[in-house]
A and B are shown apart, each in its own frame.
Chain A
Amino acid sequence: MSVLIVSIISTAVLYAVSVLYAAIGEIFSQKAGVMNLGLEGIMLMGAVSGYLVAVHQKNLALALIVVILVGAALGLVFAFVTVTLQADQTVAGMAMLTFGTGLSGFIGNSVAGVNANLAFQSFEIPLLCKIPIIGPSLFDQNILVYAMYIIVPVSMIYIYKTRPGMILRALGENPATLDSAGYNVFALRYGYVIFGSAMTAVSGACVSLAYTNFWSDNMTSGKGWIAVALVVFASWNPVIAVFGALLFGAISVIGVDIQMVSSTLPSQFYSALPYVATIIALIFTTGNFRKKRSAAPAALCIPYDREER
């Protein structure tokens, strides 16, 4: 039984991390007031660029660097369109999604079906991996997972306990105040959008270089949308995002386990469970039952325009 629990947790963690990079990146971006719905497209671009480097250069570190740069570049474009040109963010996101999907398929043609044979391997952390249950499930993973263990608490501290974090929150709540105080709202937003986009690209690399090791057209299969949903579900809080991602991953795996044991309900029912769970959880965590303030950054999706003050 404990073996089963360890397995469920470790699969859930592996899945969760591949979504969390994008989700946490998007949390930063949305806290700064910019919503990027095109995560799927950026993820695919990250996946394909990382894989291309792995196949041609055989170097994982280089692949990761390229992935981050590609993500940053896409983020730059997105920031330009939404922050400087003040375009509608929902649609800009859809544009990024379509464009990223198409472009990744285009350039990925040369490596589809080619085996890079190069992925982030999992390794145990001595001592910690001996802790019952937690040990083997959390501390026998690959480096991208371990990095996430650090990124999450650092993000929390940054957002809620530091001065730059306070500025970040202000960016998304009331950019006009920041502007009058002399901060460059545009540059800051650019920075966070680029960061978010780079993180999202790493999510993509998780899929082609860690979780599985290959490239195929559209291989992220909707993960970008899950990341978007996760951000709202988590009320823009990285720690809650972690729980949400783990929940989603765990329910998916458990769904298959149950389906194998009992066949009273159709298998599609169990496949649908994670989504149903997300809806229910979403209503209860973000629902405004007592007219309290919504957790959403007040200036989310509203381009900052000096003349509008």
Chain B
Amino acid sequence: MHKFRVQKRTEVSMTRKILNPIVFVLFALVFCGIFLAVLKFNPLEVYGKMLEEIFSVRGVQKSVVAGLPLMFTGLAVAFGYRMNLNNIGADGQYAMGSILCIWFALYGPDMPAVPKLIIMFVLAAAGGAFISLLAAIPRAFWNVSETILTMMLNYIVLLFLNFLMYGPWKEEGQMVAQTARTDERYWLPDIGNTGINSIVIIAVIMAVAIYFFHKKTSKGYQMEVIRRGPAAAKYAGMNVKANIIFVLGISGAIAGLAGFAQVGGIIHRVQADLPNGAGYTGIVIAYLAGLNPLVVLIVGFLFGALQISAVAVQITGVPSQIATMIQGSIMLFVIAGEFFKRYKITRQNSQPSLPEKATEDPKKEIPVQEGGAE
């Protein structure tokens, strides 16, 4: 009878890093496929239809639209996670960003498009940052849990949004709980004929900027050190408090820009419950992307695609909850799969490899030799 040993891998190759999550995503799809089969659907047909929708031209357009807010919230949450700070409040930050942005767009002075859009951009970021700073300060100074603070702030900001949308900012003479559309001058243009809004370019630039920030700047390096151990960081003279405020502030600002994306690029107005859970999905996206900002864009797009294709597949009778189930299963399987990335199962009588201090937590995984590429 062979016994199995669990052994830490001494190094995790790039192939394994990419392949691992993909394999487990497939497992998740198989798992959901079982549920589908029980309900008398053909899983291959269902997934096939979903893929068909995603890869169509209009499918890509819609996936981008659906995925854009998720890209921003994903970037925001990932930025916070890089220093082990849980920003659960991206919803509220997104909402506040959209509130300030639409306020200026509708009630601000009449200006040419470019300066107006720039101010809208800044206000959206400021709105998001304001909310996250309300959580950052108690966290930095008094070590109060930012997880709970950001979450509570969500409820408060969303109620404020509710008040505005049903009350003073509701479009005159209309019944729907939303603001009027902004003036067409202040609409960001689409990219050529693709039907995809240029706000995507802003998202990409932002992701690239964050990527280089982490890799190249000294501030990025500081964040890394603090993440690995606040005590050591303080010893090295780094101001942990200032860094917490900085990180959560930027995280909130990025989430607030999701509001700019909507007001400037997509729907050109604000409606009640605009975030619709984007902040929470952002957490999932940040993790699945391994906190890499460039990968966040891809995963954000894929989640948008999942949302769209789930709508498409409903036509065949599949229950509407399938999208959430797939999302949840993918997450569960991928994080379970992380284990197999870090450990291998071997037979008892095989040669144990030399023990070496390998990395342990996916969040902390920045192998120095690869220059932190993830």
Contact = CB atoms under 8 A, between A and B. Distances in A.
Contact of A91 (B144, B155, B335, B339): B335
Interface of B: 8, 35, 86, 138, 142-145, 147-149, 151-153, 155-156, 159-160, 162-163, 167, 280, 283-284, 287, 319-329, 331-332, 335-336, 338-339, 355, 360-363
B338 A85 contact: yes
A233 B284 contact: no
A87 to B, nearest CB: 4
A294 B335 CA distance: 29
Interface string A66-99: 0000000000010011001111101110111111
Contacts of A272: 155-156, 159-160
Contact of B328 (A87, A103, A288): A103
B148 A91 contact: no
A90 B282 CA distance: 13
B332 A96 contact: yes
20 contacts: A80-B336, A81-B332, A85-B338, A94-B284, A95-B328, A98-B331, A102-B321, A103-B325, A105-B321, A106-B35, A222-B155, A232-B147, A266-B163, A268-B160, A268-B163, A278-B148, A287-B144, A288-B143, A288-B144, A294-B143
Contacts of A307: 8, 355
A53 B177 CA distance: 39
Interface string A107-128: 0010000000000000000000
Contacts of A97: 280, 328
A303 B360 CA distance: 9
A268 B163 CA distance: 6
Question: Contact residue range for chain A?
Answer: 35 or more
A91 B149 contact: no
B163 A99 contact: no
A131 interface: no
Nearest to A229: B148
B325 to A, nearest CB: 4
Contact of A99 (B142, B332, B338): B332
A92 B86 CA distance: 14
B138 A287 contact: yes
A216 interface: no
Given A91-B283, A94-B284, A233-B148, 7 more contacts: A80-B336, A87-B338, A102-B323, A229-B148, A229-B151, A266-B163, A272-B159
A77 B163 CA distance: 41
A158 interface: no
A276 B142 CA distance: 18
B304 to A, nearest CB: 16
Nearest to A274: B155
A105 B324 contact: yes
A44 B90 CA distance: 23
Contacts of B35: 106
3 A-B pairs with the lowest CB-CB distances in the bound complex, closest first: A99-B328, A102-B324, A95-B331
Among B35, B149, B335, max chain A CB count under 10 A is at: B335
Interface in A7-41: 41
A11 to B, nearest CB: 20
A308 B319 CA distance: 45
A94 B328 CA distance: 8
Contacts of B143: 286-288, 294
Given A81-B332, A98-B328, A276 B319 contact: no
Contacts of B325: 99, 102-103, 106
A235 B244 CA distance: 22
Contacts of A289: 142
A225 interface: yes
Contacts of A243: none
Contact of A87 (B167, B321, B339): B339
A98 B327 contact: yes
Contacts of A303: 360-361
A186 B327 CA distance: 28
A179 interface: no
Contact of B156 (A95, A98, A275, A288): A275
Given A85-B338, A268-B162, A286 B144 contact: yes
A257 interface: no
B146 to A, nearest CB: 11
B204 to A, nearest CB: 25
A100 interface: yes
Contacts of A225: 151
Given A87-B335, A96-B332, A268 B327 contact: no
Contacts of B160: 268, 272
Contacts of B355: 307
A269 B156 CA distance: 8
